[in-house]
């Protein structure tokens, strides 16, 4: 279920990321291990995440996801293996909404969100991201999971 679409501004956010390009059907198999790899790298460098995991997509997927999975950090991470320093860029205008519920409902929430964006006559950039603010890492009930959706807007 989609809640509260709005237009906001976002600040630059330093992150530790792994870039992945995988067939759509493999997303669920690669996401968790990538987060685990980032967490291990942060621990080895004495860093802690300062926010929830995210997926920063570089284009709307058709057959493949081309994205970075990441965790926000207070200072840049030193590159180690697949983990590198990255960021979520500052955006002066971003469409934002929150999906509440299990991840299998995300596609319906994205469709409703894209419809809202269109109804507002807003023009979007190619990139977008999801931030997993409440999920299996901190809430056992999928009905209570919260995923923030972000779609940067053209100026």
pTM: 0.92
Task: Give the tens place of pLDDT for each residue, 23-71.
Answer: 988 988 999 999 999 999 999 999 999 999 999 999 888 889 999 999 9
CATH superfamily, domain 2-152, is: Regulatory factor, effector binding domain (3.20.80.10)
Task: Give the tens place of pLDDT for each residue, 102-155.
Answer: 999 999 999 999 999 999 999 999 999 999 999 988 999 999 999 999 999 986
Q: Is the pLDDT of residue 80 over 80?
A: yes
Q: What is the DSSP secondary-structure string of 15-76? A: EEEEEEEEEGGGHHHHHHHHHHHHHHHHHHTT---SS--EEEESS--SSEEEEEEEEE-SSP
Domain coordinates in residue numbering, the chain = 2-152
| Confidence at 1, pLDDT banded by 50, 70, 90 | confident
């Amino acid at each position: 279920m989609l809640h509260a679409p709005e237009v906001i501004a976002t600040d630059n956010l330093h992150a530790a990321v792994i870039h992945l390009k995988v067939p759509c059907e493999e997303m669920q198999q690669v996401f968790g291990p990538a987060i685990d790899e980032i967490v291990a790298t942060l621990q080895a460098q004495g860093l802690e995440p300062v926010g929830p995991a995210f997926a920063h997509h570089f284009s709307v997927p058709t057959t493949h996801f081309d994205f970075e999975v990441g965790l926000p950090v207070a200072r840049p991470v030193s590159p180690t293996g697949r983990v590198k320093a990255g960021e979520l860029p500052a955006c002066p205008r971003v469409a934002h909404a929150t999906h509440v519920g299990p991840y299998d409902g995300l596609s319906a929430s994205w469709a409703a969100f894209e419809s809202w964006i269109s109804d507002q006559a807003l023009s979007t950039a190619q990139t977008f991201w999801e931030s997993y603010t409440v999920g299996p890492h901190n809430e056992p009930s999928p009905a209570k999971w919260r995923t923030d959706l972000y779609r940067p807007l053209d100026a």
